[in-house]
Amino acid sequence: METRLRACHCCGLVQTVPPLAEGQIAQCARCGSRIDSARRSGRLSAARCLAAAVGALILYFPAMLLPILEIEKLGHRHVSSLLGGTIDLISHGNLFVGLIVLAFSIVLPLVKLVALIELSYTAIAQRQHRAWTYRLVEWSGRWSMMDVLLLALLVTLVKLGDLVAFQLGPAVVAFVLCVALSMIASLVFDPHAIWEEAAE
């Protein structure tokens, strides 16, 4: 009878678990926690990641396109979205900074979300190109800067508080939720369970 090594998610004990029949469960010898099969834990991980990534993708477009900030200085009012602000940077001669913001704060987060959705879906649908997609998620996650952009926005608002009057736009809520869901999608995805599931 073939056995497989499984680590307990609670105490970390690595133990051998024989193949289980339908309805049987394995329990940890040390703490008694349930040890899920790779197939079950992989599908749960993929489903949670898919839900969070789809939610983040839905919020991504309002976060980028709706007004995020309204600034009033000396009677002049300027309303800007994240994408509009990036285009303004490029059109006003700040090509390098504009392209950096466009690539790392707008394009790469979108690539990461689409790759997470595709990776989660293929985990459910049993496709074979998971390794390449997972490498893309890891690479784009390292370089995407949505959370850094959020921090920069907050610092700017604190610094400009005495100089100009500003009002947050409707994109702020979508942006914060998009960043949070994107981080949750990355955290709940478990690549080890998918590789083990593919081997079963």
Q: Among all chains, which residue has been given the structure tokens 């790759």?
A: 115
Helices 108-125 and 38-65: crossing angle, nearest 10°?
150
Spatial distance between the Cα atoms of 106 and 145, rounded to a whole number of angstroms:
8
Closest CA to 143 of 112, 118, 184, 113: 112
Cα–Cα distance list, 94 to 44, 77, 149 (Å): 45, 22, 17
Side chain identity, residue 170: P
The closest alpha carbon to 137, from 151, 117, 123, belongs to 117
Of 70, 54, 53, the closest CA to residue 170 belongs to: 70
User: Of 56, 46, 51, 54, which is closest to residue 191 (Cα–Cα)?
Assistant: 46
| Burial (CB count <10 Å: 0-12, 13-18, 19+), residue 96 | exposed
Provide the residue-wise pLDDT of the chain in tens; the chain has 200 residues.
Answer: 455 777 777 787 888 887 777 777 888 888 888 876 655 566 778 888 899 999 999 999 999 999 887 777 777 777 788 888 888 888 888 888 788 888 888 888 898 898 888 888 765 555 556 777 777 777 777 766 666 666 666 666 656 656 666 677 888 889 889 989 988 998 888 776 556 555 45
Give residue 103's pLDDT.
Answer: 84
Residue 38: half-sphere exposure toward Cβ, Cα within 13 Å: 19
